[in-house]
């Protein structure tokens, strides 16, 4: 199944859109400014619609089937969120219209700031960052600026575990700081002895630690309190990567555990659709002593006395507020508001009990899958309870030629999206599996059965795996060629 | 309401397989004294109740479905054909994530390859990535890319004073730990491109200019080329932030020496949404692609020789290169890029030109009408596209309050908040969405204003 490029279905003279005639006198164009040609497509509306509908059919989404992509929290995206985000009074607001004319939107932002602060155990929240990595940059810049203001501008080292997402070290470099990697111990935790050594070595230079908890092995740090204490004692701060927050809603509050800053991935934990790679929202929460450093504007409630004829009353209004020591703006306007509406809707519908059930069932589902796959695939930390995800290995003794990628591609033939593969980097042939709470036992069983069957096929018919996928729109794609002979856009114009 | 299919019976069966007595037992690694905090959240609502609450909240806003809008300043009210949102809602697009597994992501990958192709066509550039968070962060990433291309040998960045204030602020936020100088924008907004050229030296990594600029002014290709030549003579990169709709009509940056063309993609098929989600588009020369940030889709073949598409040049990215990556960007604005692609394909070469022409003619009609009103002066000199600056006889905030209360009009942007010399100056925006009647109503409303008392200074600053 292939689909021609949009440029390949063009015919000169076709139109998909009509605009009104000009109802004002025309003004001559300025001399020498007009473009010579505009090589955009010419298609009819029906061809356009069929093109994109056919393309959509070449995609696997959550609504098509199970999507256990580890660390990405591919849970069901409730349709009510879409209805909410499309309400005209939200979707048709200009970001710079007078704040008095957008009090409902400011209220939604204010309420969501408060709700996220409560859920995470933080004092203040900004909703401006557009994605998790954007939240990380925000958080690390806050840590850096705070320490500079304390007269500690020599601090330039961030510790990151070897199991960390790539965004953590990348963020550190972007913030002008140095990365020092901390090894994991045999149980998958931060290696405390190594951490102590590194802190002794870098103490006066330490900005802090970036820690994902549960970590990317799907494990809750058994020594989390000790880890945080050691960093704090050395004058450092601890950044929490909230990518895995779906495991601990109502189970633990990172702010209470001692994290100083954390980003929330609203597109993961709070169910907003992933859109083929975005948009996301990387709200950032901080403890009280960092609140003045948040990027803004954020929404604050102002109370003013108004004197009326007979009585004095307090009127509260919501206003934009720039925290006084802010690191500055990290994005134009206020954040991905449309995503905020969806996340707010999700929290309203769950309440405290519902959110705790989310995490309980996410963790239950992951442990169930882990139990079903034990003994079939190696699970390096399978002796521990996992949180919302776990990491298996695509290593089969009976089929030494089979690799994780072969297993992943074969899963497609069963209608499943493969798990995250080859990450975390510290586990060879990693298969990182995150089922989420929105999947039923039947789906989990079907997935486990498929993986068990694939392990058997690997022994008896390895070619079936090596040549997989068989049912996808295309066979395995040559990624090396794509990077070597770069073709990044369609060359010839169409008319 | 939650979205959990597990029943009590399911949970019991699963716990038995796991060998645990209760779900709570699965959380034994969480420090006991911190385990299971009580969250103080409002009670859970049903779908009907939630929608009612959200509807009520939305009704506290005045929106563009009820008002006429002459506000732009980086977020634009352009027509979005119905097919865009309809197609965007194919849940195979909507509920997928980054296309790490290309064989079952060809829809996203091909649509993004087409997006890249159309962005290149629009900007006259050779390569494009699949989006940044918005134009402001795309600008900051352009700065980082320019610094990397100079291999750390250059540490100066020159910004035009009429680059969008938010983009300039975000550049400063992103680069605060990098030990570089960000200069050029501490001169009045009226400064010429020549003044900017004078700020460029051998230490300069890049120069960033917006065209049309934040005040709506359109620089001719000849003026831009002259600046590009000066920038290139000093070995710096020439970065142009551009309004994509203006490119329906005017010469693209690729034809006047731009090394990087970027901009706010929101006007292409994305609703205003109170400021997001939008997308930053980013186009460049082939030779610089390996130093760039963000996802890029490349064409290749499958095992049977059939054409297909994959994410490529991933070795630049954080998940492979970690601390040596060109950027930390991971999740981007992929769905908004898809909307922009569908928009460009639907509008096509004729539709986009028509939208640009209508915006141009209506903006000039509005400027003519307002320029004739007593007390008002159109101060934009030279050509402009869809935005222009008007000196007003009253503080802009007061005018806007009056327009909103009395006429249901969202007025222009108050330039005094960013440019002290432009106090009482309003930036008005007119697009194809504004009818002649709306424009005439705006002029009529503005005409009434000089007759109102000018407020005292205290009130004006309120």
* Partner residue facing B45 (CB), from A265, A348, A478: A348
Tell me the C-alpha distance between B373 and B384, whole Å.
20
Mean pLDDT of A265-280: 97
Using a CB-CB distance cutoff of 8 angstroms, which residues of chain A are in contact with residue B134?
A: 130, 331-333
Across all residues in chain A, what is the average pLDDT? 96
Tell me the C-alpha distance between B260 and B280, whole Å.
13
User: Closest Cα to residue B37, out of A103, A252, A495?
Assistant: A252
A376 close to B (CB below 8 A): no
CATH for the stretch A80-348: 3.40.640.10
Q: Is the pLDDT of residue A28 over 80?
A: yes
Mean pLDDT of B366-386: 95
| Confidence grade of residue B180 (pLDDT, cut at 50, 70, 90) | very high
| B128: helix, strand or coil | strand
Q: Is the pLDDT of residue A229 over 60?
A: yes
Task: Measure in Å the smallest separation between the Cα of A370 and chain B Cα atoms.
Answer: 8
pLDDT digits over B42-61, tens only? 999 999 999 999 999 999 99
Order of all β-strands in the sheet with A430-433: A390-393, A430-433, A420-421
In degrees rounded to 5, what are phi and psi of residue A433?
-115, 120
Using a CB-CB distance cutoff of 8 angstroms, which residues of chain B are in contact with residue A256?
A: 34, 37
Instruction: Give one DSSP letter per residue of A280-338, joined into a string.
Output: ----EEE-GGGGGG--S-EEEEEEEEEE-SS-EEEEEEEEEE--TT----SSSTTS-HH
A297 close to B (CB below 8 A): no
**CA angle B298-B302-B307, nearest 5°?**
55
Q: Do A104 and B114 touch (CB under 8 A)?
A: no
pLDDT digits over A327-342, tens only? 999 999 999 999 999 9
Out of 1.10.357.10, 3.40.50.2300, 3.90.1150.10, 3.40.50.150, the CATH code matching B68-76+348-461 is: 3.90.1150.10
* Partner residue facing B97 (CB), from A25, A69, A474: A69
User: Closest Cα to residue A239, out of A249, A254, A217?
Assistant: A254
Q: Do A331 and B307 touch (CB under 8 A)?
A: no
* Partner residue facing A167 (CB), from B73, B328, B361: B328
Number of Cβ within 10 Å of residue B218's Cβ equals 25
- Boundaries of every domain in chain A: 80-348
Most B CBs within 10 A among A152, A265, A275, hence the mutation to make, goes to: A275
Cβ within 8 Å of residue A5, ≥6 positions away: A490, B110, B113, B114, B117
* Partner residue facing B92 (CB), from A26, A59, A224: A59
Residues 93-112 of A with CB under 8 A from B: 93-98, 100-105, 107-108
- Boundaries of every domain in chain B: 68-76+348-461, 82-344
| B422: helix, strand or coil | helix
Most B CBs within 10 A among A117, A225, A331, A476, hence the mutation to make, goes to: A331
Tell me the C-alpha distance between A6 and B247, whole Å.
20
B438 close to A (CB below 8 A): no
Chain A residue with Cα closest to B307: A2
Beta-bridge partner residues of B61: A102
b/e per residue, A422-450, with b = 16+ CB within 10 A? Answer: bbbebbebbbbbbbbbbbebebbebbbeb
pLDDT digits over B384-422, tens only? 999 999 999 999 999 999 999 999 999 999 999 999 999
B91 close to A (CB below 8 A): yes
Mean pLDDT of A274-298: 97
DSSP conformation class of A190: B
Domain B82-344, second-level architecture: 3-Layer(aba) Sandwich (3.40)
Using a CB-CB distance cutoff of 8 angstroms, which residues of chain B are in contact with residue A215?
A: none
B9 close to A (CB below 8 A): no
pLDDT digits over A231-257, tens only? 999 999 999 999 999 999 999 999 999
**CA angle A181-A169-A230, nearest 5°?**
45
Residues 433-462 of A with CB under 8 A from B: 437-441
Chain A residue with Cα closest to B366: A24
Q: Do B344 and A371 touch (CB under 8 A)?
A: no
Tell me the C-alpha distance between A236 and A143, whole Å.
9
What is the structure's pLDDT at A303?
76
What is the structure's pLDDT at B460?
43
Checking ipTM against 0.90, whether it exceeds it is yes
Size of interface A-B (CB pairs under 8 A): 696
The bridge status of strand A178-182 relative to strand A157-161 is parallel
Output the six-digit token pair for B218.
Answer: 């359109």
Mean pLDDT of A33-41: 96
Most B CBs within 10 A among A488, A490, A491, A493, hence the mutation to make, goes to: A488
DSSP conformation class of A348: H
Using a CB-CB distance cutoff of 8 angstroms, which residues of chain A are in contact with residue B110?
A: 3, 5, 55, 58
Using a CB-CB distance cutoff of 8 angstroms, which residues of chain A are in contact with residue B346?
A: 16-17, 43, 45, 48
Chain A residue with Cα closest to B324: A170
Beta-bridge partner residues of B242: B211
In degrees rounded to 5, what are phi and psi of residue A374?
-60, 135
B277 close to A (CB below 8 A): yes
Using a CB-CB distance cutoff of 8 angstroms, which residues of chain B are in contact with residue A482?
A: 298-300, 310, 312
| Confidence grade of residue B31 (pLDDT, cut at 50, 70, 90) | very high
Residues 171-230 of B with CB under 8 A from A: 172-174, 176-179, 218, 220-222
User: Closest Cα to residue B149, out of B200, B206, B225, B232?
Assistant: B206
Chain A residue with Cα closest to B123: A38
Q: Is the pLDDT of residue A1 over 80?
A: no
Across all residues in chain B, what is the average pLDDT? 95
């Amino acid at each position: 199944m292939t689909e021609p490029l949009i440029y390949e279905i063009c015919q000169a003279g076709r139109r998909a859109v009509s605009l009104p005639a000009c109802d004002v006198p025309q003004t001559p164009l300025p001399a020498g400014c007009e473009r010579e040609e505009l090589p955009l497509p010419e298609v009819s509306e029906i061809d356009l619609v069929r093109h994109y509908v056919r393309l959509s059919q070449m995609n696997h989404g959550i609504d098509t089937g199970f999507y256990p992509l580890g660390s990405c929290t591919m849970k069901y995206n409730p349709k009510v969120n879409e209805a909410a985000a499309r309400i005209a009074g939200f979707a048709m607001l200009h970001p710079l219209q007078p704040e008095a004319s957008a009090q409902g939107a400011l209220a939604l932002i204010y309420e969501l700031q408060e709700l996220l602060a409560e859920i995470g155990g933080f004092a203040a929240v900004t909703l401006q960052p557009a994605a998790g990595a954007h939240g990380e940059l925000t958080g690390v810049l806050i840590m850096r600026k705070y320490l500079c203001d304390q007269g500690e501008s020599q601090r330039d080292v961030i510790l990151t575990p070897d199991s960390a997402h790539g965004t953590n070290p990348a963020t550190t470099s972007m913030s002008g700081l140095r990365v020092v990697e901390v090894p994991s111990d045999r149980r998958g935790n931060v290696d405390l002895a190594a951490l102590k050594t590194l802190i002794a070595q870098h103490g006066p230079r330490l900005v802090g630690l970036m820690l994902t908890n549960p970590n990317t092995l799907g494990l809750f740090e058994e020594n989390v309190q000790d880890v945080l204490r050691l960093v704090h004692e050395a004058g450092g701060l601890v950044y929490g990567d909230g990518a895995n927050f779906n495991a601990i809603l109502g189970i633990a509050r990172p702010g209470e555990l001692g994290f100083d800053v954390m980003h929330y991935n609203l597109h993961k934990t709070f169910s907003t659709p992933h859109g083929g790679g975005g948009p996301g929202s990387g709200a950032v929460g901080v403890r009280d002593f960092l609140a003045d450093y948040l990027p803004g504007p954020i929404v604050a409630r102002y109370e003013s006395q108004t004197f009326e004829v007979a009585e004095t009353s307090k009127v509260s209004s919501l206003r934009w507020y720039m925290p006084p020591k802010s690191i500055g703006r990290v994005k134009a306007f206020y954040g991905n508001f449309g995503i905020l509406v969806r996340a707010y809707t999700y929290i309203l519908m769950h309440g405290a009990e519902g959110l705790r059930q989310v995490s309980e069932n996410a963790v239950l589902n992951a442990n169930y899958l882990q139990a079903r796959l034990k003994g079939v695939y190696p699970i390096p930390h399978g002796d521990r309870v996992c949180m919302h995800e776990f990491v298996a290995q695509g290593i089969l003794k009976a089929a030494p030629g089979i690799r994780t990628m072969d297993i992943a591609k074969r899963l497609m033939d069963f209608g499943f999206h493969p798990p995250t593969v080859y990450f975390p980097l510290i586990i060879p042939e990693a298969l990182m599996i995150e089922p989420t709470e929105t999947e039923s036992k039947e789906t989990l069983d079907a997935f486990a059965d498929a993986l068990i069957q694939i392990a058997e096929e690997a022994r008896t018919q390895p070619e079936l795996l090596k040549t997989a996928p068989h049912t996808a729109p295309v066979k395995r794609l040559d990624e090396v060629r794509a990077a070597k002979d770069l073709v990044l856009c369609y060359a010839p114009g169409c008319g | 309401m939650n979205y959990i299919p597990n029943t009590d019976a399911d949970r019991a069966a699963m716990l038995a397989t796991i060998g645990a007595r209760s779900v709570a037992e699965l959380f034994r690694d969480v420090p006991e004294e911190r385990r299971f905090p009580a969250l103080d959240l409002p009670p859970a609502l049903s779908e009907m109740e939630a929608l009612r609450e959200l509807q009520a909240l939305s009704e506290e806003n005045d929106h563009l479905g009820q008002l006429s809008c002459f506000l732009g300043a980086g977020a634009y009210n352009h027509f979005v054909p119905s097919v865009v949102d309809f197609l965007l809602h194919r849940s195979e697009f909507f509920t997928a994530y980054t296309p790490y597994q290309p064989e079952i992501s060809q829809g996203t990958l091909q649509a993004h390859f087409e997006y890249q192709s159309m962005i290149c066509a629009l900007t006259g550039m050779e390569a494009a990535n699949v989006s940044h968070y918005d134009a402001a962060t795309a600008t900051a990433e352009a700065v980082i890319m320019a610094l990397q291309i100079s291999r750390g040998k250059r540490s100066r960045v020159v910004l035009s004073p009429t680059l969008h204030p938010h983009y300039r602020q975000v550049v400063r936020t992103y680069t605060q730990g990098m030990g570089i100088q960000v200069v050029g924008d501490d001169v009045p907004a009226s400064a010429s491109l020549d003044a900017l050229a004078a700020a460029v030296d051998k230490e300069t990594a890049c120069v960033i200019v917006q065209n049309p600029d934040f005040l709506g002014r359109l620089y001719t290709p000849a003026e831009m080329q002259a600046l590009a030549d000066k920038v290139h003579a000093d070995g710096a990169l020439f970065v142009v932030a551009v309004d994509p709709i203006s490119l329906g009509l005017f010469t693209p940056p690729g034809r006047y020496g731009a090394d990087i063309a970027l901009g706010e993609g929101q006007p292409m098929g994305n609703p205003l949404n109170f400021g997001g989600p939008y997308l930053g588009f980013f186009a460049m020369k082939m030779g610089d692609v390996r130093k760039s940030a963000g996802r890029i889709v490349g064409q290749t073949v499958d095992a049977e020789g059939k054409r297909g598409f994959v994410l490529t040049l991933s070795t630049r990215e954080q998940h492979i290169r970690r601390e040596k990556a060109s950027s930390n960007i991971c999740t981007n604005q992929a769905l908004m890029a898809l909307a922009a692609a569908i928009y460009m394909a639907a509008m096509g070469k004729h539709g986009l030109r028509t939208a640009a022409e209508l915006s141009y003619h209506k903006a000039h009609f509005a400027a003519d009408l307002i320029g004739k009103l007593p007390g008002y002066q159109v101060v934009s000199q030279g050509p402009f596209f869809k935005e222009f600056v008007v000196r007003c006889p009253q503080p802009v905030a007061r005018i806007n309050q009056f327009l909103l209360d009395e006429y249901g009009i969202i007025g222009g942007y108050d330039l005094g908040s960013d440019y002290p010399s432009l106090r009482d100056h309003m930036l008005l925006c007119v697009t194809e969405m504004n009818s002649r009647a709306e424009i005439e109503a705006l002029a009529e409303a503005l005409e009434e204003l000089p007759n109102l008392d000018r407020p005292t200074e205290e009130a004006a600053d309120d």
